[in-house]
Amino acid sequence: MTALKLFGRARFAALGAALLAAGCAQVPPDAGQNPADPFEKFNRNMWAFNDAIDRAVLKPVATAYVDWVPEIVRNRVTNMTDNLFEPSNALNNTLQGKVDDGITSVFRFLINSTFGIVGMFDVAEKIGMQRHEEDFGQTLGVWGVPSGPYLVLPFMGPSSVRDVTRYAEEFGTSPLTYAFWDEDWWIGASFTVVAVIDGRAQLLQLENIRESTIDEYVAVRDAYLKMRANLVRDGEALDEEEELEQLTPLEFDE
Residue bearing the bigger pLDDT, 94 or 240: 94
Q: How far apart are CA 30 and CA 150, in angstroms?
A: 16
- Among 55, 42, 22, 58, CA closest to 199: 58
Question: Are 46 and 22 spatial neighbours (Cβ–Cβ below 8 Å)?
Answer: yes
Tens-place pLDDT, residues 43-90:
999 999 999 999 999 999 999 999 999 999 999 999 999 999 999 999
Q: Of 18-22, 109-113, 201-205, 230-234, where does the model show the most confidence?
A: 109-113
Average pLDDT, rounded, for the chain: 84
**Res 14 pLDDT > 70:** no
- pLDDT single digits (tens) 143-176: 999 999 999 999 899 999 999 999 999 999 999 8
Nearest to 37 by CA among 218, 215, 163, 231: 218
Helix locations, the chain, DSSP H: 10-23, 40-53, 59-68, 71-84, 86-95, 99-114, 123-126, 136-142, 165-173, 175-179, 185-201, 207-211, 216-232, 240-245
Task: Look at residue 9 in the predicted model and tell me its pLDDT.
Answer: 40
**C-alpha–C-alpha distance, residues 58 and 197, integer Å:** 7
| pLDDT value at residue 212 | 75
User: What are the pLDDT digits (tens) for 212-230?
Assistant: 777 889 989 999 999 999 9
Per-residue pLDDT of 125-136, as tens digits, reads 999 999 999 999
CA-based angle 181:187:192, to the nearest 5? Answer: 100
| pLDDT, greater one: 190 or 43 | 43
Mean pLDDT along residues 91-114:
97
First-last CA distance in the chain: 42
pLDDT at 43: 95
242 pLDDT more than 80? no
DSSP string, 115-169: TTTTTTS-HHHHTT-------HHHHHHHTT----SEEEETTTEEEETTTTHHHHH
Q: What's the pLDDT at 13?
A: 43
